[in-house]
């Protein structure tokens, strides 16, 4: 239960960071297949699915709430170490995925899937170097519908390994507005500021409805792909995992490298690899 909570924390943080994929973190920690199964069989295997999903969901929510306050500080003050920590978290899951394809013949289609998804992630990172114009989140019927749609798109990309939901949000101009809305909501909640709470609900509830709808929709599609084309799916994921560190480095802003930052960066990278491998056991 506690281990599942911390897996949720890692996934939640990953979903906040542009260029980092929550889906890749799920794969790295060895829970992707089971998580998709529990989502798609939530009602037919309700008790089993809830017991598995609940601590992960709580960890994700805790991480998203906390990250909205702390991530900006870490990336502003320790960008090299923070980015390399996430690179390590991603690369630490590669051995587990390699075991899924090891011993099977490599077909041209497998390599094509790997290259295709590698190019997709790197291409998105290149396009995502600049943020779109910040979206208007003032309350209104059009914006509510828009937020539901954005939630669907974002959650779908969060579930797919290698694709960064937060990067997609950034491309659409919703990243910082939504992140600030989360921060403002929890600040208002802590201060019992009813106006702030109501304002936050007007933004986060429709967005949350879209997120839930998107997760259920894409999870079924992913399950079908893994059932019918497992090797193609795993080779595609390998391409996504290998390309994700490149996407993080392309999306990040780094100061001049010093001996101390290089050393602590290597430590952070190693820590990320170890954490991913331990959580994936």
Q: What is the pTM of this model?
A: 0.64
- Tell me what pLDDT residue 209 has: 92
Element (H, E) at 135: none
pLDDT tens figures, 193-246: 998 899 889 888 999 899 888 888 888 888 888 888 888 888 887 887 788 788
Q: With 0-12 CB in 10 A as exposed, 13-18 as middle and 19+ as buried, what is 166?
A: buried
Instruction: Centre a 10 Å sphere on the Cβ of residue 111 and count the other Cβ atoms it contains.
Output: 13
Query: pLDDT confidence of 69, banded at 50, 70, 90?
Result: low
- Tell me what pLDDT residue 187 has: 87
- Tell me what pLDDT residue 243 has: 81
């Amino acid at each position: 239960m506690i281990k599942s909570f911390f897996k949720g924390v890692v996934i939640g943080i990953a979903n906040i960071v542009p260029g980092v994929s929550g889906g890749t973190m799920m794969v790295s920690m060895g829970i992707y297949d089971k998580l998709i199964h529990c989502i798609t069989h939530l009602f037919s295997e309700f008790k089993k699915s809830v017991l598995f999903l609940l601590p992960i969901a709580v960890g994700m929510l805790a991480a998203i709430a906390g990250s909205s306050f702390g991530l900006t500080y870490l990336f502003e003050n320790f960008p090299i170490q923070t980015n390399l920590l996430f690179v390590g978290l991603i690369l630490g899951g590669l051995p587990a995925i390699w075991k899924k394809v090891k011993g099977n013949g490599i077909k041209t289609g497998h390599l094509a899937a790997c290259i295709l998804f590698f190019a997709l992630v790197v291409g998105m990172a290149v396009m995502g170097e600049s943020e779109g114009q910040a979206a208007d989140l003032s309350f209104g019927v059009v914006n509510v519908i828009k937020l539901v749609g954005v939630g669907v798109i974002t959650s779908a990309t969060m579930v797919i390994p290698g694709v960064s939901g937060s990067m997609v949000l950034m491309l659409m101009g919703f990243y910082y507005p939504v992140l600030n809305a989360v921060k403002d909501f929890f600040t208002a909640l802590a201060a019992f500021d009813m106006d702030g709470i109501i304002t936050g609900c007007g933004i986060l509830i429709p967005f949350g409805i879209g997120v839930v709808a998107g997760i259920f929709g894409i999870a079924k599609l992913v399950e079908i792909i893994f059932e019918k084309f497992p090797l193609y799916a795993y080779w595609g994921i390998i391409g996504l995992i290998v390309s994700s560190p490149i996407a993080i480095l392309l999306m990040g802003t780094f100061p001049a490298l010093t001996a101390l930052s290089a050393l602590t960066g290597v430590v952070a990278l190693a820590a990320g690899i170890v954490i991913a491998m331990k959580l994936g056991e």
